[in-house]
Amino acid sequence: MSDLTAAIETLPQLVNSNAWLVHRGRFVSLDILIELSEVSFLVAIEHGHIVALDRGALLMRPWRFAIRGSEEGWRRFWQPMPPPGYHDLLALTKLAGFRIEGDLHPFMANLLYFKAVLEAPRSVPQ
């Protein structure tokens, strides 16, 4: 699990250093919840930049939508060349038992941004 935690903790650097990705998310300002099995991360995004990433007990912390998945699912998703069914966030909901919950409007309206953000750890050696 520590390698997955390290991967998600690289998100601020990976996203904020990618000018194209920040530009794509320039209209995105919200908090999202990402769960890797039992470990939760609250990601605060402002105008496409990740401004905070908090780990741990997040009771009573608001978020717009959550992406929840198993440790194995995230591990496969973040491989440099994921196997079929683990290559895309929406495919994960069909084959890997991932759940996307909450207010799905900002997720769908900015789908390519969120896909690129969550695929960013693929570039980090595991």
Q: What is the pLDDT of residues 18-38, one digit of tens each?
A: 999 999 999 999 999 999 988
Pairing of strands 65-69, 29-36: parallel
Q: H or E element: which one contains 69?
A: strand 65-69
Give the rounded percent of residues in the chain with a pLDDT score beyond 70: 97
Give the rounded percent of residues in the chain with a pLDDT score beyond 90: 82
Write out pLDDT tens, residues 95-105: 888 999 999 99
Asked if 113 and 7 touch (Cβ cutoff 8 Å), the reply is no
For the chain, how many structural domains are there in total?
Answer: 1
Handedness of CA 95, 32, 112, 78 (dihedral sign): negative
CA 66 to CA 68: how far, in whole Å?
6
Q: Which domain holds residue 50?
A: 2-123
CATH number at residue 45: 3.30.1050.10
pLDDT at 125: 65
pLDDT at 2: 79
Residue 58 has pLDDT above 90, yes or no: no
B/e letters for 94-121, b = 16+ CB within 10 Å, e = fewer, are eebebebebeeebbeebeebbebbbbbb
Work out the average pLDDT over 92-113: 95
**pLDDT higher at 125 or 69:** 69
Work out the average pLDDT over 79-102: 93
